[in-house]
A and B are shown apart, each in its own frame.
Chain A
């Protein structure tokens, strides 16, 4: 779509939103956070439409206690922690995995769960623990890996369970009612798995518009237009501008794979605390792949770095610029909280792509 077409959508958004107070739309997903900046969408939107980030960056929602456990595992002489690269720089109580690795801890960066499995295969004398984080998009892959380990009879592969489910978190945010949200820009990749229909309860129960979008500028702006249109008309429906990839019912096969291996469980989210049914535990039949069980670990206390607002940022309660540490004590070079670490972290995106010149406005 050309610039004029984009301008047309933006003008329509501005015209619709002009009669109302500032609207708060939440982009749930970290990839949207980054894409909104990267494509320049943030700079195009009128001041009356503000986007706030939600709890949808896998690294950012991971509890501090989980990071600390990962560090503890990495320090075991016979154990290698296999992790997505984004996790290695999140500061834990004993330092980040990156820092621990420089001190001799074994940390292998992998791109997928299968990759961690391959590491276990290649290194039979070591325990390989995969840091299983991510939302519904990555969970089926972890499940498939556990089944593969089972079929092969691998004895040295484990996961440290940290998978999350997005819908329970949205319920928690809304029922707390602390953040005024006028609509949800719903994640593209996660919705491929859970289906656009998964947001129906959010739309009907809390009367919030929900629109699924991909990550192209046009798709995101169209979704924002639909959200604004619903909001000014006091409607609350689920709509989908990412029909090419997302169906109403999602990917049943992927969900069945997850359900075979995992069962829903309560999980602790950074700053949001324990959320019922928002996590996944290995079912009893696969419990021997659980690193917590195998090494007799338990979560320690949740300690947040002093002054860090990551927990507020992922709930849309604060913008990165409202954190006293942002750009001062907390930078990509020396991150204090996970939102500055992750490629999809809100603070990292604001830091990297944020407005060059202070122009005020809702997205600045």
Chain B
């Protein structure tokens, strides 16, 4: 094949080159009985009951980072969106948009990332699409994944169910994904052992929902971090939140690195964490359930829902002070001085 081991426009032409690319590099790794016929659509036979349907696009740069890559992210992100809706993931679609010039070996690693994450999540890729676009810059690849899941009967989730007195939990240490990606941005590269936490969370959510605790609300704190979810929660529920900084799980390395960059760890992205609101009395049970799963070992109760006015998020800081928590406007940037 021409192109010296890289994607060329012909790979998107729908002809022989496209067919070969799919067979050799994609379907061979993701194959399953629903995908293999390569028909124009996948036929699913979900059990009775409501279906949850979600989609997400992934544009992360660089494509690979400590602890993961755009492929792993694309699977985990969509599986997690289903999970926090209280849906059992059933199937995913995979849309690849490749730029000409993309090296095959990089593409191979990313498809491997997709395959491994899908296996981990126990969700098949049942349909997909591949397009090639003209080169825009370096290492170009975009992914869209959509997912369907079946809504669990025991999941009664929503901001409307949140009440004062409820407990606020997080399943583990924060800010690792965002810092891992920053650490390999071409222009900011710094040495760190921090790795992305990207992981499929349905197993963890299953444990939590199956524990019998009254779970009122779930969300994964991705872009805009824990701060974003807390701000959403206060806005959507109309209740204030009180959060203990000391209770939020975080490593010393993350604290130090964020501090060095002038970033607030609360606003940094996670890709393998879930924030849960549960009835106050059920907090111990919920915590135990989360901690019983490998992805929830470091889960913690970090705060509570209160009736304070106005309905804002207040952080009780390590030193005993108070401050507000708000969602960042865009992506927070490292400081200048």
Q: A residues bordering B, Cβ < 8 Å?
A: 1, 3, 6-7, 29-31, 34, 37-44, 56, 58-59, 84-86, 109-112, 114-115, 118, 133-135, 137-138, 187, 189-190, 215, 217-218, 221, 332-333, 343-344, 351-357
Contact of A85 among B186, B320, B333 (CB under 8 A): B333
Return chain A residues, CB-CB under 8 Å to B308: 356-357
Contact count band on B: 20 to 34
Q: B322 touching A352 by the CB < 8 A rule?
A: no
Return chain B residues, CB-CB under 8 Å to A110: 187
Q: What's the least CB distance linking A111 to chain B, in Å?
A: 4
Decide yes or no: A353 and B324 within 8 Å by CB, A3-B319, A111-B187, A115-B187 being known contacts: yes
Between A37, A43, A133, A217, the greatest number of chain B beta carbons within 10 A of the residue's beta carbon is seen for: A43
Q: A135 touching B337 by the CB < 8 A rule?
A: yes
**B302-326 interface mask toward A, CB cutoff 8 Å, 1 = contact, 0 = none?**
0000001110101111111111101
A353 to B316, CA, bound (A): 12
Q: A40 touching B319 by the CB < 8 A rule?
A: yes
Q: B322 touching A40 by the CB < 8 A rule?
A: yes
Q: A84 touching B320 by the CB < 8 A rule?
A: no
In the complex formed, the residue of B with least CB distance to A344 is B335
Decide yes or no: A43 and B321 within 8 Å by CB, A356-B310, A356-B314 being known contacts: yes
A110 to B333, CA, bound (A): 10
Q: What's the least CB distance linking B172 to chain A, in Å?
A: 22
In the complex formed, the residue of B with least CB distance to A9 is B319
Tell me the dominant secondary structure on chain B's binding face. loop
Q: B residues bordering A, Cβ < 8 Å?
A: 185-188, 240, 259, 262, 264, 308-310, 312, 314-324, 326, 329, 332-337
In the complex formed, the residue of B with least CB distance to A135 is B337
Decide yes or no: A133 and B336 within 8 Å by CB, A40-B315, A111-B187 being known contacts: yes
A333 to B326, CA, bound (A): 13
Q: B322 touching A137 by the CB < 8 A rule?
A: no
Q: B321 touching A40 by the CB < 8 A rule?
A: yes
A357 to B259, CA, bound (A): 27
A58 to B335, CA, bound (A): 10
In the complex formed, the residue of B with least CB distance to A221 is B319
In the complex formed, the residue of A with least CB distance to B242 is A356
Q: B324 touching A41 by the CB < 8 A rule?
A: no
Decide yes or no: A44 and B333 within 8 Å by CB, A112-B187, A356-B312 being known contacts: no
Return chain B residues, CB-CB under 8 Å to A217: 317-319, 321
Q: B323 touching A37 by the CB < 8 A rule?
A: yes
Q: B337 touching A86 by the CB < 8 A rule?
A: no
Return chain B residues, CB-CB under 8 Å to A343: 262, 332-333, 335
Return chain A residues, CB-CB under 8 Å to B322: 40, 43, 355-356
Q: B324 touching A7 by the CB < 8 A rule?
A: no
Return chain B residues, CB-CB under 8 Å to A355: 322, 324
Q: B321 touching A86 by the CB < 8 A rule?
A: no
Q: B336 touching A86 by the CB < 8 A rule?
A: yes
Contact of A84 among B259, B319, B336 (CB under 8 A): B336
Q: B319 touching A39 by the CB < 8 A rule?
A: yes
In the complex formed, the residue of B with least CB distance to A215 is B259
A225 to B330, CA, bound (A): 36
Q: B337 touching A39 by the CB < 8 A rule?
A: no
Can you offer 11 A-B residue contacts whose CB atoms are under 8 A?
Answer: A6-B320, A31-B335, A38-B317, A41-B319, A43-B323, A86-B333, A86-B336, A138-B337, A215-B259, A344-B337, A356-B314
